[in-house]
Amino acid sequence: MEEQEKEIYFIKGFNNGYLLNIHEPELLDGILKSGNHKSDYVRAMALGKKQHEKEQLMDEMKQSRERQRNIKRGR
């Protein structure tokens, strides 16, 4: 596989992992637990999942800070 093809393959895996974590997290967990981590595609899926989880955490932290600000303002 050429370098550009590998990159496209990785990006597809990452994006599919990200989207599956949003829409079908149980399915994604099953895929990731299948022991097929030697596959670059599955490793990319795991990274996509991790990215989505990181973004969720950042959103939760932002919302929490906003709630705290509103409480301090008396809302």
Tokens linked to 11: 């990006």
pTM score of the predicted model = 0.85
Q: What is the pLDDT of residues 16-53, one digit of tens each?
A: 999 999 999 999 999 999 887 778 999 999 999 999 99
The candidate with the shortest Cα–Cα distance to 10, out of 52, 37, 48, is 48
Cα separation, 11 vs 22, in Å, equals 17
16 and 48 Cβ atoms separated by less than 8 Å: yes
Query: Would you give the end-to-end CA distance of the chain in angstroms?
Result: 58
CA angle 38, 49, 62 (to 5 degrees): 155
Is residue 75 over pLDDT 70?
no
